[in-house]
Amino acid sequence: MAGSWHILIIAKYIVEYRMKGRFIVLYASNNLGKSKQLDLLEEAWQEIGRPYKRIKYPRYDSEFGRILNRELRGPVEERLNLTDEELQMLFAEDRRYYQPRLMEVLKEKDVLAEDYTGTGLAWGLTKGVLREKLDTYNFGLLEPDLAILLDGERFSGGTERGHRFEVAGQEVWERNREIHRKLAFELGWEVVEAGGSPEMVHERVMRVIREN
């Protein structure tokens, strides 16, 4: 559970942002503990009673998300064999379709998101999609108030078997990590070291939230 110092941090945060929720996005290459860090952020928000909504992109319950889910992790014989450009177009359209709802939620709550436009940029570039096309696909999408990149060595285990991206070899993973890091520098994401226990990483994430 979050410690008492978290309460002080977020109490200050509540006063500063009382009239508007914040859109906080967590990025990372695969197998670096993103989902666990979102779990810990949820615990912190619940402990102090701060209204929030957790989102994971893509949203697999949407029309676009169902296609993406089948393409990324469905049986090979059921996949449409979409190109990487077509995949990134669908990812972006899933974000765009949800945007009106996202903006409504942000009027009343914080949004804690796992993956967003930066994920599309990173994986699109990793797979050879031109940056100009990726920027076009994602044009007009809401910018996060705070983007945090978890960066570190890949965890052993935790790879989702059969997932189109997660089964990529170490060379692809390293390239994807480096692209994430370059995007963080270009786009002003905060970078957090992903090594150590989940609780240690959580403390680093909370420190970034406090300072931003």
Q: β-strands 52-56, 110-114: how paired?
A: parallel
Residues with Cβ < 8 Å from 89, sequence gap 6 or more?
Answer: 137
Strands (DSSP E) found in 48-144? 52-56, 110-114
- Ramachandran quadrant class, 196 (left: phi over 0; alpha: psi -120 to 50; beta: rest): left
- Asked if pLDDT for residue 208 goes beyond 60, the answer is yes
**Inter-helix orientation angle 63-73/84-105, to 10°:** 140
Cβ neighbours for 146, distance < 8 A, ≥ 6 positions apart: 22, 23, 24, 25, 190, 208, 209, 212
Share of the chain above pLDDT 70, in %: 85
pLDDT at 17 over 50: no
Residue type, 97: Y
The rounded distance, in Å, linking the Cα atoms of 52 and 49 is: 9
CATH class of 4-8+17-211: alpha beta
Mean pLDDT across 36-47: 97
For 196, other C-beta atoms within 10 Å of its C-beta total: 12
Q: Any idea which of 26-40, 69-83, 154-168, 197-211 has the lowest mean pLDDT?
A: 154-168
What pLDDT is stored for residue 19 in this prediction?
42
Position 3 pLDDT exceeds 80: no
In the predicted model, what is the mean pLDDT of the chain?
A: 89
Q: Which residue has the tokens 């070899």?
A: 169
DSSP class of residue 141 equals P
Q: For residue range 85-126, what is the model confidence (pLDDT) as tens digits? A: 999 999 999 999 999 999 999 999 999 999 999 999 999 999
One-letter amino acid for residue 102 of the chain: L
